[in-house]
Amino acid sequence: MGLTQQSTGVAAMKDVFLVKGQGSNDCIIALAGNPNTGKSTVFNSLTGLKQHTGNWPGKTVKNAQGHYAYKDKKYILVDLPGTYSLHANSAEEEVARDFICFGKSKVIVVVVDATCLERNLNLVLQILEITKKVVVCVNLMDEAKKKKINVDLEKLSNLLGVSVIGTNARNGKGLVKLKEVISKVALKKEKDSFNKINYNDSLEKGIEIVEAAVKGRVEDRVNSRWLSLRLLEDNNKIAESFKKHLNINLKENDDLNCRINEAQKYFLENKISQNEIKDNIVTCIIKKAEKIGQEVTTFKNANYNQFDRTIDNILTSKIYGIPIMLAMLGIVFWVTIQGANYPSQLLAKGFFWIEGQLTIFFVSSGLPAWLHGILVLGMYRTVAWVISVMLPPMAIFFPLFTLLEDSGYLPRVAFNLDNYFKKACAHGKQALTMCMGFGCNAAGIISCRIIDSPRERLIAIITNNFVPCNGRFPTLIALASIFIASSMGAWQSVGATLSVLMVIVLGVGITLVVSRILSKTILKGLPSSFTLELPSYRKPQIGRVIVRSIFDRTLFVLARAISVAAPAGMIIWLIANINVGGISVLNHCAGLVDPFAQLFGMDGFILMAFILGLPANEIVIPILIMSYMSTGAMLELGSMDDLRQLFLQNGWSWLTAVCTMLFVLNHFPCATTLLTIRKETQSWKWTAISFIIPTITGIILCFIVAQSVRLLGLI
Amino acid sequence: MKEKFIPLHLMPIGSTGKVRNLLAKDDARRRMLDLGLISDTFVEALRKSPSGDPIAYQIRGAVIALRSEEASNIMVEMV
């Protein structure tokens, strides 16, 4: 069977590495690099807002693509996941390696950190083993200058044999030159020539044995020396990738198998173990990186990182580290809650004015009342509610949090807290994803991408819902103030704050316990690893942070929430307004679940409010008010006192409030979050587990509390 | 000779050691090597986290925090 280029090459790749919006003349550029090198800044500066993100097909790895024009030609930039190496077979590394090997990119731009060149060269050299269509972009040149580190770019270019451009993507320095060089390299027709890293004699001998057979198999599609090395180190994943992308089954080739066996026999005879082969490969590359690094870099100031160390002495100190961290997070939350109040009211006012106008329009044009009900009182009001409660806090919280992220502080938080998470078999970075969860659980779950170990990432995703998000805070605060702290007089606000704080502490406690249980049970087999880089502190780019956090996080989450809230709003209105035997469907349902809900210290209406509040936690209380007042649409009461009276009339006690608060903390994630979990894990199974675990936790907790309070006769 | 080597997590803060032997296997070993922890690499213990673990190390120009479980698989010679 003749394997044509058509069936094995480009066409076969097409569906796997789908590059959007590509015209026939467009040029694909891949962007590779270590994490923390400013790679995403380079990406953003080159593409501006012309980008979109998603996942790699079938992977939980983020895929960002964007495009820019240079001299009338369109360049599509594919941002590969940030990795230190292509060796270790994590999901990120596999995606990056496969795209470099099999993707259709004309040029690979490798972004490296000028202040930490030697370490970054490891990846550069690994990529150069695969292809020479490389442009090295030495970023953070200004920072290097500040630290009195000098990088000889010309020498580096000579040593590597490829173009090297110095940039400072933060202020756009060097990017025009970068585009120019990319276009030149893309046009070059020359064959890939190999930047040779010399391995020790026995390994070279091994390569010699297999390379000819490898070449016969893959021809010019992949560098044969590189592939020989991968086969000698017995890399199974590589064979899988070849099957997937080029439809070449390396293992089925007798000649090749024979050669590999011969090489392995040779290694055995010379007493070289498989581990030694792998060690030798890595060691040779790192030694070469070291040599090149030392040749091109000069440190004029031996204590160039003194500044970072001084700050770290304070921010990670034994005494101040954790208090400073709590204070910073406290400020972020306080600013968010306080700052969101006024814009929220303003938005609500605006939306309800529009609702009034819509109603006038519906009435005057003689449209039926039920249509007005479904569209305006149902759909419009729910969407308006969700936007006015969700948007302001997110628009404040996310930029603040992104500022902390951008400055380099967040990895220090993970460093400070890792030990506690380690005891729960989780990753220190989970502290960060939980903080993000306070803003919005969906955003918290997206942020779990920063956890590079698969098991710990899943733990963080599944347990994220145990931290109350912005949508649940107001409910907790309201219930705490009107039921728990109401008898405290002047101390009411203190009492309410303390009760909410207790709920948060409980949430964190449950997170840690559940994390540990998950790790020991259903997630037992998944791989786990821990390394945490503490990058240099950097002055955050305030303008860019605001734009990016609004686009990447706020609007993204909001759009997803609206898409769920709109249909849900119609359903809520329908079941509250369709009457069967004189009673609304909602009341029938509430009556049905009431005995069940009573077991957990709640009533049927509360449970129904939680169920109907699936699209967004913000609407749980409005739905509850709607049901108690037997009105057909969601509404809010003027004052806390009215709310208290309404709840008391409907048989609430402090126990009802406590159980409801517990259930607010521990119940199924909202629909937006569930969709996000599905997207991030690519699995309905983990989505279902993320739904079940908090719900069961809530039911058990409420049951225990309600039953023991009743047994002890406290109520 | 061997007694002179200590596991990295026991190296006092502020001191520097030279990597002598990696005890980790397979993927974990590969990750350590990719961090640049090959033989003869200098590693400086920078600071402990407030609770004593993990510890931040200066490795080839980068600051990397390692948990004691991982660092204990890296044998170093104090210099």
Q: Name the one residue in this structure whose structure tokens are 């790749």.
A: A13
Alpha-carbon distance of A626 to A576, in angstroms, equals: 9
Question: Are A318 and B29 within 8 A, CB to CB?
Answer: no
Residues of A with CB under 8 A from a CB of B: 84-85, 87-89, 115-119, 122, 275, 278-279, 282-283, 286-287, 289-290, 305, 308-309, 312-313, 316-318, 321-322, 415-416, 418-420, 422, 428, 527, 529-535
Question: Are B65 and A527 within 8 A, CB to CB?
Answer: no
Angle between helices A274-296 and A201-218 (to 10 degrees): 100
Do the domain assignments include residue B23?
Answer: yes
Question: Are B27 and A88 within 8 A, CB to CB?
Answer: yes
Do the domain assignments include residue B71?
Answer: yes
Determine contact, residues A601/A653, Cβ cutoff 8 Å.
no
Q: Can you give the pLDDT at residue A418?
A: 92
Minimum Cα–Cα distance from A309: chain B residue: B46
Question: Are A533 and B36 within 8 A, CB to CB?
Answer: no
Q: Name the one residue in this structure whose structure tokens are 């699995």.
A: A683
**Count of H helices and E strands in chain B?**
2, 6
Interface confidence (ipTM) of the complex: 0.94
Cα distance from B17 to chain A (closest Cα, Å)?
A: 18
pLDDT digits (tens, 9 = 90+) for A341-379: 888 889 989 998 999 999 999 999 988 888 998 899 889
Q: Cα-flanking dihedrals φ and ψ of residue A477, to 5°?
A: -65, -45
Minimum Cα–Cα distance from A528: chain B residue: B28
Low-confidence ranges of chain A (pLDDT < 70): 1-24, 49-60, 88-89, 189-195, 487, 489, 638
Q: Cα-flanking dihedrals φ and ψ of residue A573, to 5°?
A: -60, -40
Alpha-carbon distance of A708 to A711, in angstroms, equals: 5
Residues of B numbered 33-72 whose beta carbons fall under 8 angstroms of chain A's beta carbons: which are they? 33-36, 38-39, 46-54, 56, 59-67, 70
- Taking contacts as CB-CB distances below 8 angstroms, the residues of chain A near B29 are 275, 278-279
Amino acid identity for residue A547 in this structure: V
Q: Which residue in B25, B46, B52 is closest to A419 by CB distance?
A: B52
Do the domain assignments include residue B70?
Answer: yes
Q: Which residue in A116, A322, A534 is closest to B61 by CB distance?
A: A116
Minimum Cα–Cα distance from B61: chain A residue: A116
Number of domains in chain B: 1
Alpha-carbon distance of A326 to A341, in angstroms, equals: 23
How much is the average pLDDT of B30-55?
91
Determine contact, residues A191/A261, Cβ cutoff 8 Å.
no
Q: What are the Cα distances from residue A667, in Å, to A390, A571, A715?
A: 19, 21, 25
Question: Are B47 and A313 within 8 A, CB to CB?
Answer: yes
Determine contact, residues A577/A371, Cβ cutoff 8 Å.
no
What is the pLDDT of chain B when averaged over all its residues? 89
Minimum Cα–Cα distance from B23: chain A residue: A275
Go through chain B and tell me how many residues it has: 79
CA dihedral A222→A16→A22→A192, nearest 10 degrees, is -10
Above pLDDT 90, what percent of chain B? Answer: 58
Go through chain A and tell me how many residues it has: 715
Do the domain assignments include residue B68?
Answer: yes
Q: Which helix (H) or strand (E) holds A136?
A: strand A134-139
Q: Which residue in A84, A115, A287 is closest to B34 by CB distance?
A: A84
- Taking contacts as CB-CB distances below 8 angstroms, the residues of chain B near A279 are 29, 33, 38
First-to-last CA distance in chain B? 15
Do the domain assignments include residue B73?
Answer: yes
Q: Which of B18, B34, B41, B55 best tests the A interface by mutation, with the highest count of A CBs <10 A?
A: B34
Q: Name the one residue in this structure whose structure tokens are 């009411």.
A: A492
Question: Are A527 and B27 within 8 A, CB to CB?
Answer: yes
Domain range for B33: 6-78
Amino acid identity for residue A50 in this structure: K
Alpha-carbon distance of A40 to A193, in angstroms, equals: 29
Do the domain assignments include residue B1?
Answer: no
Amino acid identity for residue A549 in this structure: S
Minimum Cα–Cα distance from A312: chain B residue: B47
Question: Are B36 and A317 within 8 A, CB to CB?
Answer: no
Do the domain assignments include residue B16?
Answer: yes
Q: What are the Cα distances from residue A263, in Å, to A27, A229, A256, A279, A695?
A: 40, 11, 11, 17, 57
- Decide: residue A351, CB within 10 A, 0-12 exposed, 13-18 middle, 19+ buried: middle
Coil, strand, or helix at residue A430?
Answer: helix
CATH number of the domain to which B73 belongs: 2.30.30.90
Q: Which residue in B35, B46, B49 is closest to A531 by CB distance?
A: B35
- Taking contacts as CB-CB distances below 8 angstroms, the residues of chain A near B50 are 316-318, 321-322, 416
Q: Name the one residue in this structure whose structure tokens are 């930029």.
A: A399
Do the domain assignments include residue B55?
Answer: yes
Q: Can you give the pLDDT at residue A415?
A: 93
Cα distance from B11 to chain A (closest Cα, Å)?
A: 18
Q: Name the one residue in this structure whose structure tokens are 């990319």.
A: A182
B66 bridge partner residues: B55
Question: Are B61 and A282 within 8 A, CB to CB?
Answer: no
Q: Can you give the pLDDT at residue A6?
A: 32
- Taking contacts as CB-CB distances below 8 angstroms, the residues of chain A near B38 are 279, 282-283, 286-287
Alpha-carbon distance of A462 to A430, in angstroms, equals: 11
Question: Are B50 and A416 within 8 A, CB to CB?
Answer: yes
Query: What b/e string do you get for A14-28 counting C-beta neighbours within 10 Å, with b at 16 or more?
Result: eebbebeebeeebbb
Task: Tokens for B28, please give them.
Answer: 């974990």
Question: Are A88 and B54 within 8 A, CB to CB?
Answer: no
Determine contact, residues A675/A615, Cβ cutoff 8 Å.
no
B1 in contact with A, Cβ within 8 Å: no
Determine contact, residues B5/B76, Cβ cutoff 8 Å.
yes
Q: Cα-flanking dihedrals φ and ψ of residue A217, to 5°?
A: -85, -45
Q: Name the one residue in this structure whose structure tokens are 């302001």.
A: A392
Determine contact, residues A107/A182, Cβ cutoff 8 Å.
yes
pLDDT digits (tens, 9 = 90+) for A255-271: 888 888 888 888 888 88
Number of CB pairs < 8 Å for A and B?
Answer: 111
Coil, strand, or helix at residue A150?
Answer: strand
Write out the E strands in A140-180: 149-151, 163-166
Minimum Cα–Cα distance from A319: chain B residue: B50
Q: Which residue in B31, B52, B53 is closest to A88 by CB distance?
A: B31
Task: Tell me how crowded residue A172 is: count the other CB atoms within 10 A of its CB.
Answer: 12
DSSP letter for A233, please. Answer: T
Alpha-carbon distance of A103 to A65, in angstroms, equals: 14
Cα distance from B79 to chain A (closest Cα, Å)?
A: 18
Q: Which residue in A87, A117, A305 is closest to B34 by CB distance?
A: A87
Minimum Cα–Cα distance from A290: chain B residue: B60
